[in-house]
Every structure is written in structure tokens, then in C-alpha cells.
Amino acid sequence: MRSGRRPAGRPRRLRRPRKAGPLARYGAPAGFLLAATIAILLIHSALGGKTVPAPAPVTQPKPPATTTVAASKPKPRPKPGGRYHVVQSGEGFAAIAAAEHTTVAQIEALNPGVSSNALRVGQKIRVG
């Protein structure tokens, strides 16, 4: 074998990488999957091999079918709508109660989500 520079007229030969054979192409991934499966099975058996059972379906007993003839009852009439007051500028629960001949406690009971400090002009307040 000769060392040193090559003669000027001869091009240098490049080595091409070898193609992987079928064993390297398919054997390596198959080996990895086999190793991973074995590791999972070993861990599963080390934990006692217990699996979580699926929850049992909940079935409720059906009441026995009975056929009864109900007497036709008159439908209850809807109660007439309550009385409302439209808030004016400068009014509070006390002024509204005096104008509508009721009490502040009754207005507060009929309007549980309304604060007397947060009334707005034009807001409807139930008074009866």
C-alpha cells in the first residue's frame, strides 16, 4: 500500500455507504417491540397481574306496571301575575314600600337577588 499524495490524473474513489440488509431493516424494530412487550409483561406480573374490572352496569328495578284510571281533575289556574313597580330616580326599597303600601321585608322576600343598593332607574321590582 502506498502512502502520500495520489497522482494528479486519477480521481479519488468515494466509498458508497452499504445498504442495510433485511435483517437490519426489519430485525431491529421487531427486536425493540419484542423487548418492550416483555418489559410490560414483567412489570404487569410484578404488580400482581391485577386489572381493574369494568364497572358493573347499574340497573334500577322497574316498578310494576299498573293501570289506574285517574279521575279527571281540573287543572289549577295559574296565579295572576304579581304587581310590579318601575324604579324611579332616587328611589330605594323604603320609598317603594311606602308608595305601594307594603313593607321593605316583603319586597326583599319577593326579590331575593336584588340589592337595595344596586337599584337602577327603569328596573322592575315585584311588590306583590
For residue 13, what pLDDT is reported? 72
Taking residue 119's Cβ as centre, other Cβ atoms within 10 Å add up to 18
Give percent helix, percent strand, percent coil of the chain, each to the nearest 5: 35, 5, 60
Q: What is the pTM of this model?
A: 0.38
DSSP class per residue in 31-48: HHHHHHHHHHHHHHHHTT
In order of start, what are the domains of the chain with their CATH numbers? 84-126 (3.10.350.10)
Percent of the chain at pLDDT exceeding 70: 73
Predicted pLDDT at 17: 73
Mean pLDDT of 83-91: 90
Per-residue pLDDT of 13-41, as tens digits, reads 777 777 777 777 788 889 999 999 999 98
Residues 54-82 pLDDT 10s: 677 777 777 776 666 656 667 666 556 78
pLDDT at 10: 66
pLDDT for res 105: 92
Greater confidence (7 vs 108) lies with 108
Answer yes or no: is pLDDT of 42 > 80: yes
- The residue behind cell 445498504 is 19
